[in-house]
Structure 1
């Protein structure tokens, strides 16, 4: 592990910042009196400014993020940290984690291979996804051999997937059933977070939102914000996943204006890289079912005509491939292809929030993206307890193309949305106001007159 990772893991310095032209990450703690305690050697020239922690950091961070958010191509990758952050605002505690399935059949063999898989991916221990992948591979082998234990393993996977789906729904329910005031605060913060990214002018490429989460928190926030999400699903009653990815978009015709339609604002492309709790395989199709946010369980919503034999074991949760090997990578291969095509292009900015760099298939795409000199990666995370973020930062080696905002003083969702993320919806208005004030000041100033400089400054202050 890198020196940076060791420091964060030990809790010596909780926050790491690297933006703009900082040659290396800076480490600091935020004191109770809002002062900054910089680590020795982290005293950059700009950090000598007096003032509260948030004020000093905002002047450094907000203009930088505002500039990056206006890149030609902008993408957001949201990890489990986003769900935990919103759940903490609503309930005061993190959401449910990804616990392993309580398997009994071949459990020793499955756990052993899951640990090996996790080690190869750079994780300290196996998680549910490792266990699912190994269990499904083993199940396929047992079916081929005609082993009697295949049936019991299949039943255990079915029960385990049902319990896992309930834990996802429980996290959703914890947010929507919270105290009204806290729930509204949490959801409003989520809306502000999403719109900071999505408020792009029509001449810019659409925001791409990617998430590794199985819950529908981003969809709920987009619905509240009036943000239109474009994904691969087509249809209204039970949308079907389509491999053909046409560049569908949303336009409008301004009243009284002839010509080409204009891009509608508030539109983003949305990809759930690891599937979703409401995606189900039905025959040859993958459909999105009408599962309410925070429902108690999935089973009642599968008891409909046309879904005969469909159980929770058919939920499309990565990498749950309880089907023929020929389709084992479907639809995930399509989704990962969308990620690569969106971020691996010139003048592209990728912002990660709450992503711990624990998925090697995603890390590989990020490394490939940074081989393009005009791309930039912004990592925002509340912590790096496992040291994976700083380890990848050191291994990639392209520090000038990476910005870091790690720690509660920087990545706490409330602080982030209030102080550091750009208010893109008002940037254009602010720019027009600044131009207007400048024009008025120049008009009042007239010929250059050194002696009247103070009065002219006072006039400008009055306008502001």
Structure 2
């Protein structure tokens, strides 16, 4: 039986520390060849790990700028809690036209990204480029056949995304409530920032609407580039729209409303449709079986699944293909590449080079920090990227089921979902009344104060 290795690097760890479960599943020990002053030679449990991790994350979450990058790992985690099985992935599909050429191009793309084989995104990217080439060469019949195959492939892909949503929405009541409650706690741990701090930026590579569903349940207001009510339109001019309120008895001094985050879906969404010159978001209910009935609305000008804005979309020219993704990636770079900024990734395997490039640029700013949280690293891409970045002091790692299981993470290691000003005010009062040595932590040196003892 293969041992499950967990990887931890936080605070003053000079290198990643590997540890594994003992025969008692509630206890852990350092892996052979690894040592850490905070662990010593004794076995340790979640309590000791919490004392090591939670205060560190609490401090990082109070950075001037905080961003959260979510990958497919979040969908798999929530889906497993609800349906007791993982969500469906992006496996390759059979495109009969130019199958060898498309497969080779998809494989080359996968090799460059560090994946074992090409997935659906790689195939779509290669097929779209080939389609454009056929149109330039004037091979209209072959282009028409390939376009129809692309339409069918996108229809299958869209249904697989909605199937994952349905697996959560149609789960037994107890499991569904557990899954959504965990998701809400996860989101609010990041978004519960005082109004005086910069808004949380949420970025995701997922096409589903799981984050939107969780935000609705949490009462979290998401600000994206879409404006409108019935059929919102994507706008390039965001104008830094925000939400304020007037405190009772105070005039002329509006304050930021808590529980607001900026939201960017970097690869598009299953409910984004290209209509003429606009990108619109259509009202597809969460967990709907198919998007087809909603594409027949009069205002969509006969749109089909071929017009879904799923990256890389099947748009017919380069200019349309770049829009709106160029705006979305500009938001990513502007959101994270700032001084005193912390970027937390969850369930992201570092398989997208265009995102990795932004992360590398962010870490050239000395006051920035990257926190990588992932349940596993089967292809070794996370650790490979960590080594290639070459900035260990600016990177924290929480890899493995003991650290990144969604339930364990939200219950044990993430800061509580509350307004932090209250926590720190209480901390200051306790310091003044009792001094810092009244609440020692086994992982904190003498005279230091562990904020986790107050939470």
Which TM-score applies when normalising by structure 1? 0.91
Tell me whether 1:127 sits opposite 2:96 in the alignment: no
What is the Cα deviation at residue 150 of structure 1? 1.1
Tell me whether 1:203 sits opposite 2:201 in the alignment: no
Tell me whether 1:80 sits opposite 2:72 in the alignment: yes
Tell me whether 1:279 sits opposite 2:272 in the alignment: yes
What is the Cα deviation at residue 210 of structure 1? 0.1
Q: Contact 1:30–1:53 (CA<8 Å) still a contact in 2?
A: no
Partner of 1:302: 295
Q: Deviations over 1:39-66 (max 9, x none)?
A: 1332211012867521110000000000
2: distance between equivalents of 1:212 and 1:303? 27
Q: Contact 1:212–1:274 (CA<8 Å) still a contact in 2?
A: yes
Gaps of 5+ in 1: 1-9, 443-463
1: distance between equivalents of 2:418 and 2:41? 29
Q: Deviations over 1:71-105 (max 9, x none)?
A: 00000000000000000000111101012232111
Partner of 1:413: 406
What is the Cα deviation at residue 244 of structure 1? 1.0
- The change in CA–CA distance for 1:156 and 1:37 in structure 2 (over 3 A counts) is same
Aligned residues: 434
2: distance between equivalents of 1:400 and 1:13? 26
Partner of 1:337: 330
**1:268 aligned residue (218, 238, 261):** 261
2: distance between equivalents of 1:302 and 1:11? 48
- Paired residue secondary structure (1:94): coil
2: distance between equivalents of 1:11 and 1:376? 32
Tell me whether 1:314 sits opposite 2:307 in the alignment: yes
1: distance between equivalents of 2:135 and 2:432? 77
Alignment of 1:60-459 (within 5 A): 60-147=52-139, 148-425=141-418, 427-441=420-434
Partner of 1:18: 9
Q: Deviations over 1:302-350 (max 9, x none)?
A: 1111223310010000011322222221111110110001101110000
> Aligned Cα RMSD in Å?
1.6
Q: Contact 1:197–1:207 (CA<8 Å) still a contact in 2?
A: yes
Q: Contact 1:289–1:301 (CA<8 Å) still a contact in 2?
A: yes
Q: Contact 1:115–1:126 (CA<8 Å) still a contact in 2?
A: yes
Q: Contact 2:243–2:260 (CA<8 Å) still a contact in 1?
A: yes
- Paired residue secondary structure (1:47): coil
2: distance between equivalents of 1:18 and 1:112? 38
- The change in CA–CA distance for 1:52 and 1:121 in structure 2 (over 3 A counts) is closer
Tell me whether 1:27 sits opposite 2:21 in the alignment: no
- The change in CA–CA distance for 1:108 and 1:212 in structure 2 (over 3 A counts) is same
Which TM-score applies when normalising by structure 2? 0.92
Q: Contact 2:110–2:117 (CA<8 Å) still a contact in 1?
A: yes
- Paired residue secondary structure (1:23): coil
Q: Contact 1:196–1:422 (CA<8 Å) still a contact in 2?
A: yes
2: distance between equivalents of 1:286 and 1:100? 27
Q: Contact 2:306–2:314 (CA<8 Å) still a contact in 1?
A: no
Q: Deviations over 1:218-237 (max 9, x none)?
A: 00000000000000000001
Tell me whether 1:59 sits opposite 2:51 in the alignment: yes
